């Protein structure tokens, strides 16, 4: 045991507050008896039973007791720490007791609620739980929250519609932005698109945003540039950018990944030849240059998507297919336009309306099934019409293959550099599929646009703007403040075995080659305790849950 972290022994003065929670607790166990028992526990100098400890009156009692009784530890035996710990510990702090000297015991959720009807047993269990809580509280240490500085500058990687929207929104919020685009021009995939589903020309929509981004003095754009190195952590990243004029080193507080995706080139799929059988993106360019010359056009949806090799649905190709089918029909009304599909993914209000409109214009939609895919040969498309069960042959002088967006081939490299995950398809993996679609699990790094999963231009723009919110929620603060419940590694005891490194889900531990020990970055650490459980030399410990604290708790049981 190292000596220099030991504090001089000082007998703690513990106050225990037992909550009746109306009848939620008191209805099923004997609270006065539990309170009497608490008085007998070591170091307990004050006990109070409250009708509701969380009520204003209850909180008042805690504060009063801390001041008048000189309490140095507070234990509340009530409900769930998930809901009430912050209230109680901050109330302690208000009268000068370090919030980490507060301990909570749940005698409701896992005690009174589950032992209804066995009053004596419930009472006994509550006593034991409190005994354990008091034992742990005696060993608690005062801790200070961890603070760290924030650089109010953001690196946005990718200059497509998502990255541009993020940069624009962040700039509008008064933050400094560095926008890095790999190619020579801003605009991404939309530069190759003819007209958007809203009827606006893609070039016009883009140039409006690009002009605005270029005009903002707090946004620096680097084109033909790549990010080559990143280091540091939330609030303090060091990045290196290879630009046309040489290497630029920057410090930023947050990073945004907006690298987009690329359309699959359907080599070897459905007779693709690039002339009579083309991809959707090639069609966009034909339309852009007004070079379309065909009397019979057949679109085949899900070309290379929703297959065993590429299971996912690329979300946007049905809409783009229908949009272009309509454009062709509008411009050349005598052209026969047919769409072969599996499921028309025209979700939402506007897209489904497009589908109604397309049918109204005389575009024909037919269902095929994946077990019986269409065949394209010599200007003919043969397919099994799933609805009628008949095989049909269509003449086509142009076949358009609606191919999915696929991840960029260098996205894995970027993911490695940023130490963020990708999913089984190679798209960047967000922190939570439902509730945190724009965050990475690593704090301070965000994702938007088709690099995460194929998105329409409107969706990519929405996500780009949304990222600005997520970033500002961090960078608008004066400094980063986080819980003191983090891991620490005793440098004298650590043997540098690195067993803790792979256990840390937050990449918060690094190996110091000079000292040959492992070190915790407190800003990155989230206090999960994996390292402490793994460490063979017991040199890794989680503050607030140190072995001696937990052993005291267990020992009391």
Partner 1 sequence: MLDVGRHPNIKLLAYSELERLEGDAGNFTATIRRKARYVDEDKCTGCGACAQVCPTPVLDLYNEGHAERKAIYSWFAQGIPSTHAIDPDHCRVLNGKKCGICQKKCEAGAIDFDQTDVIIDLPVAAVVVATGYDVFDPSRMPEYRYNQLDNVITAMEFERFLSASGPTAGHIYRPSDRKVTATIAELEKKVKKSQKALDRFEKTHGKKSDEFYAAYTDGSLKPGEDLEKDQDKWAKRVEAHLENANPLAVLKEKAKGFTTAKKIAFIQCVGSRDLRFYPFCSGYCCMHSIKEAIIAHEHDNDTHTVIFGMDIRAVGKGFEEYKIRGGNNSNISYKRSRVAEITRNPDECPVLIYEDTREQKIQRQAFDLVVLATACGPVKGAQKIADTLGIDLDRFGFFKTDPSNPLDTSRDGIYVCGCAHSPMDIPESVAQASSAAARAAQTVIKKNDQKAS
Partner 2 sequence: MTKDILVLGGGIAGIQSSLDLAEMGFKVHLVESLPSIGGKMAQLDKTFPTNDCAI
CB of 505 to partner 2, least distance (A): 17
The residue range among 21-29, 184-192, 394-402, 548-556 that interacts with partner 1, by the rule CB under 8 A, is 21-29
The nearer residue to partner 1, 313 or 493, going by C-beta atoms, is 313
Helices and strands of the chain, counted as H and E runs: 13, 28
Could you say whether residue 508 binds partner 2 (CB under 8 A)? no
**From the list partner 1, partner 2, none, partner contacted by residue 386 (C-beta under 5 to 8 A by kind):** partner 1
The nearer residue to partner 1, 236 or 385, going by C-beta atoms, is 385
Residue 145's Cβ-side half-sphere holds a number of Cα atoms within 13 Å equal to: 12
**From the list partner 2, partner 1, none, partner contacted by residue 477 (C-beta under 5 to 8 A by kind):** partner 2
Tell me the DSSP string of 127-173. Answer: HHHHHHHHHHHHT------EEE----EEEEE--SHHHHHHHHHHHHT
**From the list partner 1, partner 2, none, partner contacted by residue 197 (C-beta under 5 to 8 A by kind):** partner 1
**From the list partner 2, partner 1, none, partner contacted by residue 21 (C-beta under 5 to 8 A by kind):** partner 1
Could you say whether residue 82 binds partner 2 (CB under 8 A)? no
How many residues belong to the chain? 557
The nearer residue to partner 1, 140 or 468, going by C-beta atoms, is 468
The residue range among 166-174, 246-254, 321-329, 523-531 that interacts with partner 1, by the rule CB under 8 A, is 166-174
3-state secondary structure of 119: helix
What's the CA gap between 478 and 336, in Å, rounded?
A: 62
Size of the site for partner 1 (CB under 8 A): 67
CB of 478 to partner 1, least distance (A): 14
Binding positions for partner 1, 355-374, rule CB under 8 A:
356, 367
Whole-number Cα distances in Å, 408 to 223, 228, 261, 431:
18, 16, 5, 20
x-marked contacts with partner 1 along 471-500 as a string, rule CB under 8 A: -x----------------------------
What's the CA gap between 122 and 468, in Å, rounded?
A: 50
Helices (H), 40-140: 56-69, 81-94, 119-138
Binding positions for partner 1, 423-452, rule CB under 8 A:
423, 427, 433-438, 452
What's the CA gap between 39 and 60, in Å, rounded?
A: 20
> Could you tell me which residues come within 8 angstroms of residue 467 by beta carbon, excluding any fewer than 6 positions away?
166, 169, 256, 258, 438, 446, 447, 448
Could you say whether residue 433 binds partner 2 (CB under 8 A)? yes
Find the largest Cα–Cα distance for the chain.
94
Binding positions for partner 2, 20-79, rule CB under 8 A:
none
Tell me the DSSP string of 320-356. Answer: HHHHHHHHHHHHSTTSEEEEEESS----HHHHHHHHH
CB of 82 to partner 2, least distance (A): 12
Could you say whether residue 306 binds partner 1 (CB under 8 A)? yes
Could you say whether residue 49 binds partner 1 (CB under 8 A)? no
Could you say whether residue 389 binds partner 1 (CB under 8 A)? yes
What's the CA gap between 3 and 1, in Å, rounded?
A: 6
Which member of 45, 146, 201, 465 binds partner 1 (CB under 8 A)?
465
Residue 33's Cβ-side half-sphere holds a number of Cα atoms within 13 Å equal to: 15
Tell me the DSSP string of 369-436. Answer: -TTS--EEETTEEEEEETTTTEEEEEE-SEEEE-PPEEE-TTHHHHHHHHT--B-TTSSBPPSBTTTB
Could you say whether residue 286 binds partner 2 (CB under 8 A)? no
Residue closest to 327 by CA, chosen among 369, 297, 365, 305 = 297
Binding positions for partner 2, 458-477, rule CB under 8 A:
469-470, 472-474, 476-477
3-state secondary structure of 60: helix
The residue range among 155-163, 183-191, 404-412, 431-439 that interacts with partner 2, by the rule CB under 8 A, is 431-439
What's the CA gap between 234 and 68, in Å, rounded?
A: 42
Binding positions for partner 1, 312-331, rule CB under 8 A:
312-313, 315
The nearer residue to partner 2, 173 or 550, going by C-beta atoms, is 173
What residues line the site for partner 1 (CB under 8 A)? 21-24, 51-52, 54-56, 82-83, 86-87, 169, 172-174, 196-198, 200, 205, 208, 306, 311-313, 315, 343-353, 356, 367, 386-389, 423, 427, 433-438, 452-453, 458-459, 461-463, 465-470, 472
What residues line the site for partner 2 (CB under 8 A)? 432-434, 469-470, 472-474, 476-477
């Amino acid at each position: 045991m190292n000596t220099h972290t030991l504090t001089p022994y000082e007998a703690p003065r513990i106050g225990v507050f037992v909550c009746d929670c109306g009848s939620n607790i008191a209805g099923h166990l004997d609270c006065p008896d539990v309170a009497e028992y608490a008085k007998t526990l070591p170091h307990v100098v004050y006990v109070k039973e409250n009708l509701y400890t969380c009520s204003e009156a209850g909180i008042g009692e805690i504060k009063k007791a801390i001041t008048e009784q000189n309490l140095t530890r507070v234990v509340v035996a009530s409900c769930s720490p998930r809901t009430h710990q912050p209230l109680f510990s901050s109330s302690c702090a208000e009268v000068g007791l370090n919030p980490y000297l507060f301990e909570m015991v749940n005698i409701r959720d896992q005690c009174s609620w589950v032992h209804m009807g066995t009053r004596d047993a419930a009472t006994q269990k509550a006593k034991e739980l409190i005994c354990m809580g008091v034992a742990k509280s005696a060993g608690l240490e005062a801790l200070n929250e961890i603070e760290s500085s924030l650089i109010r500058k953001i690196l946005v990687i990718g200059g497509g519609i998502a990255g541009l929207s993020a940069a624009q929104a962040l700039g509008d919020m008064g933050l400094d932005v560095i926008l890095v685009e790999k190619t020579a021009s801003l605009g991404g995939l939309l530069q190759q698109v003819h007209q958007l589903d809203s009827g606006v020309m893609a070039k016009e929509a883009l140039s409006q945003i690009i002009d605005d981004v270029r005009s903002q003095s707090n946004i620096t754009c680097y084109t033909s540039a790549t990010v080559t190195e990143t280091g540091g952590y939330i609030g303090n990243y060091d990045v290196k950018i290879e630009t046309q004029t040489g290497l630029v080193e920057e410090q930023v507080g947050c990073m945004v990944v907006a690298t987009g995706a690329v359309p699959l080139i359907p080599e070897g799929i459905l007779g693709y030849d690039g002339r009579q059988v083309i991809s959707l993106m090639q069609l966009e360019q034909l339309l852009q240059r007004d070079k379309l010359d065909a009397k019979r056009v057949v679109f085949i949806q899900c070309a290379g998507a929703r297959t065993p090799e590429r299971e996912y649905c690329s979300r946007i190709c049905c809409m783009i297919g229908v949009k272009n089918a309509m454009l062709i029909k509008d411009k050349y009304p005598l052209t026969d336009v047919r769409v072969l599909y599996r499921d028309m993914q025209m979700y939402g209000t506007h897209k489904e309306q497009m589908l109604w409109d397309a049918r109204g214009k005389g575009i024909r939609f037919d269902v095929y099934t994946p077990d019986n895919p269409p065949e394209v040969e010599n200007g003919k498309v043969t397919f099994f019409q799933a609805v009628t069960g008949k095989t049909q042959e269509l003449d086509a002088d142009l076949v358009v293959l609606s191919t999915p967006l696929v991840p960029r081939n260098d996205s894995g490299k970027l993911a490695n550099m940023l130490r963020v995950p990708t999913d089984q398809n190679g798209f960047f993996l967000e922190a939570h599929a439902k509730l945190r679609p724009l965050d990475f699990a690593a704090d301070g790094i965000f994702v938007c646009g088709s690099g995460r999963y194929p998105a329409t231009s409107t969706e990519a723009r929405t996500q780009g703007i949304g990222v600005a919110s997520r970033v500002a929620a961090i960078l608008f603060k004066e400094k980063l403040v986080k819980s003191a419940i983090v891991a620490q590694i005793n440098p004298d005891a650590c043997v540098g075995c690195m067993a803790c490194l792979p256990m840390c889900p937050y990449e918060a531990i690094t190996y110091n080659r000079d000292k040959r020990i492992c070190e915790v970055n407190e800003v990155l650490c989230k206090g999960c305790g994996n390292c402490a459980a793994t460490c063979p030399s017991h040199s890794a410990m989680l503050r607030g849950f140190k072995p001696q604290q937990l052993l005291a708790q267990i020992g009391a049981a």
